[in-house]
Amino acid sequence: MFKTISYDQLNSRQQENFNFQKVAAKLADYGFNCMWLNDDWQGADFIACHIDGNNFIKVQLKGRLTIDQKYSGKDIYVTFNQDGKWYIYPHDTLRDELLILGLMTGSKSWNEEGRFSWPAIPKHILEYMEQYAI
């Protein structure tokens, strides 16, 4: 009954559930209890509530490093996994930091669609992204 599954054999909904369980377990190490939302409330897939009873964050679960204007001004954190390491970042803060670094600007996807993502964290900002690793 207990056999390790192959992530690649899961459908997209199963992969989303799998990833939620993995990141929720990781956030538990930091004192957060995570609750899945069925309707992307205020742009969030789930809420992470800290054990201190005072802090909670709205989190959007992604498959890669993503910046999207539809999350702007919503106090959203974005989380994704790369190579077995979870990253979680405040969307608007990282958006501004990446724009200052000159990333995204001038691309069709950013200029016309208001979003940009990378299949993997670019090597030249990998060290910078470590501040968002958990």
What residue ranges define each of the domains in the chain, with the CATH number in brackets? 7-132 (3.40.1350)
Q: 127 pLDDT band (50/70/90 cuts)?
A: very high
- β-sheet bridge partners, residue 2: none
H or E element in which residue 20 lies: helix 12-28
Q: Across-strand partners of 68?
A: 115
Q: Give the three-class secondary structure for 111.
A: helix
* Cα 114–chain centre separation: 17
Contact present, 65 and 129 (Cβ < 8 Å):
yes
Length of the chain counted residue by residue: 134
How high is the pLDDT of residue 53? 93
Span 78-92, average pLDDT: 97
> In this structure, are residues 50 and 95 in contact, taking their beta carbons and an 8 Å threshold?
no
More confident residue, 66 or 43: 66
99-117 average pLDDT score: 91
Residue 41 — very low, low, confident or very high, per pLDDT cuts 50/70/90?
A: confident
The closest alpha carbon to 36, from 20, 18, 53, 14, belongs to 20
**Residue 10 pLDDT > 90:** yes
Residue 39 scores a pLDDT above 90? no
**Stretch (H or E) spanning 100:** helix 91-100
Q: Is the pLDDT of residue 60 over 90?
A: yes
Q: pLDDT tens, 113-124?
A: 999 999 999 999
